[in-house]
Structure formats: C-alpha cells, structure tokens
Structure 1
Amino acid sequence: MMSKLNNLQETIEQLTKNAAISSARYSFVLQVVDYYFEISSNSEQICHQLQTYFAHLPQPSSADNCIKIIILETEAASLNINWLDWRREAGKSGRKDMYFDFENTRLIYKYRTGMTFLQNETLKLAVGPCLENLNQIVNFINNQYMNQIQHEDWLICHASACAYQNTALSFAGYSGGGKSTIMLHLLNQHGFKFISNDRLFIKNKNNQLIARGIPKLPRVNPGTLLNNSKLKTILSDSEVKKFEQLSEDELWQLEHKYDVDVSQVYGSDKFADNQPLSALFILNWSHTLDEPTLVQSIDIAEKPHLLSAVMKSPGPFYQDKSGVFLENQNKPDAKVYTEYLKDIQLFEVTGGVNFATLRNFCTQFLAEQK
C-alpha cells in the first residue's frame, strides 16, 4: 500500500510545516547509563518538564556521540497517508498505534492523541500536541534507549523490578495484574530500590543474569495510590473521596494513570540498575477470587504458557542494527525467554490478590539468600 505523499522528504516537509526543525532551539543532554541523548524542542516548557521528569539522571552540559531527538510542539499533523494498524497484544482492543514505512524510515501515528513520530537512523522526530501528551514523549525517548540496549542482546520483559542489597526481584503479569503495585509496596520498606516499572531488560553476564530498567517512573491507577500510605498524598482530597466510593472491582478496572515521582516519595537514593536477578514472580492471581494467595516455585518448562505474561514485543519503534524495523506480526520467541530464565528462581503467584502476603514472602526469600 503506497503513501499518497510522493517521498520521505515531502512527508517531513508536510509534517513540520507548522514548526520547522530549525525552530528546536531549546535543548539539554540526558545521560542514561552509557548513552547520551540530546533533546531539542521549539518549546522551552517541554524541555523544562522533561528535565524535571528525568531529574534523577545525569544531565551533562554537553557530550560527544549524542543520539539526537527533536520534539516539536504543534497542532496534530494531518498527513495524507494510508496508515496501517499496528497489531495490539492479546487482551487489548481499540485503535492505538498506526504506522507507515518508507525505506529504513517509519512513521508512527498515535490514534488517540494525534501525535506523530518519525524515526530512522539519523532523525528521531516527535510532532504534535506534545505538552498534552508528555508521557508519549517520555516513551519515545525511552524507546531510543531501548533500541540501543537491545542491539547489545538485552532481552525485553513485561515486568517490574526492585533491588535489595545488590540483588533484584522482578514481577511479571498480565496488564493490570499488580506488578507495579507489589514493587511499590516493597519500596515502602527500608533498603529497597526502584529498577523498573513495566519494561525490564535481562542479559547473562559472567554466568549471572543481570536486570536493567529504563528511566520511566511508575505509572499506576488510583487503587494503587489509595491503598499505599506513602502514595495516597499524590491524590487530591476530592480524588480520594471520589475513589473511596468505588468498589474494589471498579477501582481495579479503572484506567486513569498517575506518575509516581520516586525521588519525591522515597528519596533520590532509591534508584538502582544492572543488578543480579535472583527471582521472577509471575502474577497469575485474581482479585475476583476469595482464596489465599499461594506462591509456588515452578519449572517454566512444565508451565510454558506462563511465559506469555513475561514476553514482550519490542514494539513499532524497534529498529535493528542494520536499520530494519520490526515487522507487524513479529512475536517473541518463547525458547529465547526459557533460555534466559533457566538459572534463576521462578515463582507462580495464584489465588486471590494479597499484596501483604506476597511482600512478606519476598522479604523472607531475600533473608534466606544471605
């Protein structure tokens, strides 16, 4: 299916007609582990908000070999393109990401917000109502970092993780299963540090599985905040009153996300990265069950279906070392995940949802590792 625009250059011109790339005169440098990103925008406010969001990361005044990302605050672009729908994961419905490929260049359109992204090896560009959709800008920046580490054979997992005394625990589960909530419950306790919210990368180094996160703050629903004393203050008094009137099931199903600023809530020393991974907990419990929470050690070879809770597609922004983008129908390889996870402790969590029970199990497990 061909674009009604003639070529890539014409598309870029159409995309940036309301704000030229040269207008991106506000900038700062962001360091994520060993990578440097130069973020430029035509909006000083966008740069300020992003610097605030990433305040826990080094922000050097300059650096060599920066990956350049341009963010243009404009009206939603209207491109005359025959967009294709990106296939959503199982259990997700409705239109979300749409895309169109030129040679070694991909356009991605966010159906719900009107944001448009253009990505190739030399240009990474976000155009649209960016201030209204800062979370998508954060994701775009993180996707560039994720591309780089996947080129180094880090494997993406749909999991949260936290660290305790130079070891890490991770929690995988289906969407809305509580992996962020249990991680935040553990952060309430002394000595625990934040690694990642729902994108975790693992790699074997020197016969040890290492966990690495991405610089994205936990993004959770109101029920998580309401039932965590350290987080409840993120809600206004009126929001607390409104959400307390909802049933447990209504709270669980509610899709209304809040960012948890880890530095403000827990302290600037609450971040960790590149930690040896001791255990992965697969949350296969249900808030609709009136049963005790049960945590059992498992052999993933005997329960391979549980890998679907761990595996994660790199998504439409993934571009390999040669510049080729991920195909729409690409599915994660279960054999690869089985191989990566073979040398760590795996647990399945079943029954009803009880975060206190799982938290206590985790702390006991860590105590026994000493």
Structure 2
Amino acid sequence: MSCTVRHTVDATAVDCAAIIAGSQVPLPYALDVLLAGVRLCLRSNSPSLIEALTRYYGDFIGDGQGEPDVTIWAIDGPSPPVALPFILHGQAGAKEEYCDLADGRVVRKRRTGLWLVFGRTGNAILGPCARQPQQVANCINARFADWLLCRGAKLVHAAGVALGQRGLAVSGFAGAGKSTLALEIMRHGADFVTNDRALVGRDAQGLSLAGIARPPRVNPGTILGNDRLHGLLPDEVRQAYAKLPSGELWALERKYDVPIAACFGPGRVRLAAKLEALVVLAWKPGGGAMQADWTTLSRREEYLPAVTKDLGVLFENGPCAADNDGYRALFGDCPVLALTGGVDFAKAAALCLDVLGRSA
C-alpha cells in the first residue's frame, strides 16, 4: 500500500482543537441520522442548514436514542482566519487542499472556503455552511464512510442495489454503465443502495454492502433508456438527445441528478444489505453478444482495478493508493459475475435479478 508522506505542523503553533475553539458558538440545533446502522449527530448554529439537511436525509432520520457513533459540529460563519501550510490535493484545478496537524487534519474546500476539521479532538465543519448544504452533506457522508473504513471496510468503485436483504455491487471501469444497470434493475423492483462508491465489509454473516446517502447522477443516454427517468428532461430536450448517434450519446458527459422517490416511488432507498455477489462490467459498445461468466477476483486478477478506489484526503488513512492485498483478502471467493462482449442492459438486469431472487 502506497501512501503520501505526511508533513505534520508543530502542534505548539496551532492544532485542530484550537481551530475549532476559535470558531465555537452555541449550537442549539441538532439532527440525528442513522446511516447503515451508524448513528451520526449533527449540531449547528444554523436552523436553515438543519432544515436543508433534514430534507436531504429524509429517509434516514434517527430517533435520537442512544449515544451517537459520530458527532459533527457544523458552525456557520466566516472561514477560520488561520494561516496553515496547505498542500494541494490533486492536479491544477483541484477542489481541496489539506494540512495535517498533531491532533488531526484540516481540509479546505478551495471554491467555497469550507473547512473540514477531524481527528481525535472531534469533527467540525467551519465556514459558510448554510450556503453550502450539499457540501456539508458530502462532509457528513465522508465521516460516516471513514467510520466504516476504520473498522475494516473497503471503499469500492461500484453502484449498489438490493432486493430484500440481498445486495449486489455493480462495478466496472469509468463509463461502463454502473449507474445505468443499477437503475435498470431498480425498474424491475430492486431498491437503490449507492451510486458510484460502496463500502464492503465482513461480519459474522459474511460480506456486507453499505451505501452513501447521495442520489445517482446519470448521463442523457441513461435517461433515454429508462422510462422511469424520462421526466427528468423536457420532451424537446429528450427528443434532441434521441437524435444523436448511439456512439455520441454513449460518450456524452452531462450529468442529471435522479430523485429516487420521484422516479421510482417512496421507500426505494436503503443503505445496507448482505452482499450476494459482485458484478463486473467488462463489456464495450459494439462488442457483439453479451457473455456472462461466474468467477472470482482471485481467478480474474485483471478485474481488481475496476473494483478498487484510492482513499482521498477526507479519510483518516488517506491520501493513499488502494490496498490491493486488502481487497483480495476481503473479497476472497466472493462470486463475481463478469459481463463481457457487447453492452446489453436488459439481459444483464435479468441476470442480476435472478441472483437477487434465487434464494427467495
């Protein structure tokens, strides 16, 4: 496993606890959410932020009972007036920069000025939180994911669906159609678990699948191919997309959010299931008839890069390259349905539904 060397700033100069204390105000507003069995409590000084996040997490509001696994302070106000030697994460145009301190990490969102501070002294989101509820939700989701990662789960490049207690992770290289296949399976009755990132762990019952509370984002080709999504586009726009050559439509990158309840009905989102199998999309347009074969990652090592995800700066152990040995150990002999040849979403969805329903 290859990780970035950390340059920790001297804690005598500044630390996370001091940064949080410098922004501390009364936090009278609270929101409890329950994500895949993980209890998170958000406290804030902004009622409008809590209202927006209550809508966002509407399917996952907790009952306020029991001690939270994760507590987060979202303090709306100016960005902290603290000079830190931030390191840019990524290439030119990167969205984030970070600094490791003796008691944790600070990540600064370059476009909005939000600061995410986390470590052994606690978790805080500082800056113009009320104006950025979506980004605050992303930060909350990162703390949820990190809680599972620190307990042995792996971040997997996959969409996820479930039927009853049984789940499938749909993996593949970028542009393979993970979200399109997941939503096609949903069209036939499955529930949505996650869009592009899943968390896979192991418990006494075997492999578990957990999702990120975030709606899927799809391209126009996915909308055209799924009648449940047609309402996302005005008729004239949808007709204009339909006139494009198939190859151009497949390659078109123009994302639209999919509100699951509006498109598929209420109660169709769940964030946890037992992982029955991993589906790997190794097909390509124009590849002939679709072929389906059962295998494992240990037998088909070439599929591993389609499954793994590097850890970014929002995670305690990041930034870090994917731990391939850890993925091999986790998945072991997990059944893998490899789809090769040409693209056929209808046939693939039927096979996936058979897997989800085979023990019913």
Contact 2:10–2:102 (CA<8 Å) still a contact in 1? no
1:144 aligns with 2:143: yes
| Per-residue deviation, residues 100-140 of structure 1 (Å, max 9, x unmatched) | 11113111123344432111233322234445543322221
Comparing 293-302 with 158-167, greater Cα deviation is found at 293-302
Deviation at 1:351, TM superposition (A): 2.9
1:353 aligns with 2:343: yes
Q: Which runs of 5+ in 2 are unaligned?
A: 1-6
Q: 1:11 to 1:354 in 2, by over 3 A?
A: farther
Partner of 1:318: 315
Which letter maps to 2:171? A
**Relative contact order, higher structure (CA 8 A, sep 6+):** 2
| Per-residue deviation, residues 140-163 of structure 1 (Å, max 9, x unmatched) | 111111222223322221111111
* Cα distance in structure 2, aligned partners of 1:33 and 1:365: 22
Contact 1:99–1:107 (CA<8 Å) still a contact in 2? yes
Comparing 160-169 with 266-275, greater Cα deviation is found at 266-275
1:86 aligns with 2:89: yes
Give the secondary-structure state (helix, strand or coil) at the position aligned to 2:182.
helix
| Per-residue deviation, residues 66-93 of structure 1 (Å, max 9, x unmatched) | 63222244566675333213358xxxx8
Partner of 1:322: none
Partner of 1:234: 232
Which letter maps to 1:305? E
Which letter maps to 1:119? F
Comparing 359-368 with 133-142, greater Cα deviation is found at 359-368
Which letter maps to 1:166? Q
Partner of 2:260: 262
* Cα distance in structure 1, aligned partners of 2:131 and 2:257: 15
Deviation at 1:194, TM superposition (A): 1.9
* Cα distance in structure 2, aligned partners of 1:26 and 1:237: 42
* Cα distance in structure 1, aligned partners of 2:112 and 2:249: 24
Deviation at 1:333, TM superposition (A): 2.3
Of 22, 35, 38, 2:38 maps to 35
Contact 1:3–1:80 (CA<8 Å) still a contact in 2? no
Contact 1:29–1:62 (CA<8 Å) still a contact in 2? no
Contact 2:41–2:68 (CA<8 Å) still a contact in 1? no
Matches within 5 A, 1:307-346: 307-319=304-316, 326-328=317-319, 330-346=320-336
Deviation at 1:200, TM superposition (A): 1.9
Give the secondary-structure state (helix, strand or coil) at the position aligned to 2:192.
strand
Partner of 1:55: 58
Q: 1:250 to 1:108 in 2, by over 3 A?
A: farther
* Cα distance in structure 1, aligned partners of 2:246 and 2:332: 37
Which letter maps to 1:296? D
Which letter maps to 1:40? R
* Cα distance in structure 2, aligned partners of 1:76 and 1:253: 39
Identity of aligned residues (%): 25
Give the secondary-structure state (helix, strand or coil) at the position aligned to 1:231.
helix
Q: 1:241 to 1:63 in 2, by over 3 A?
A: farther
Q: 1:280 to 1:61 in 2, by over 3 A?
A: closer
Partner of 2:186: 187
Deviation at 1:252, TM superposition (A): 4.2
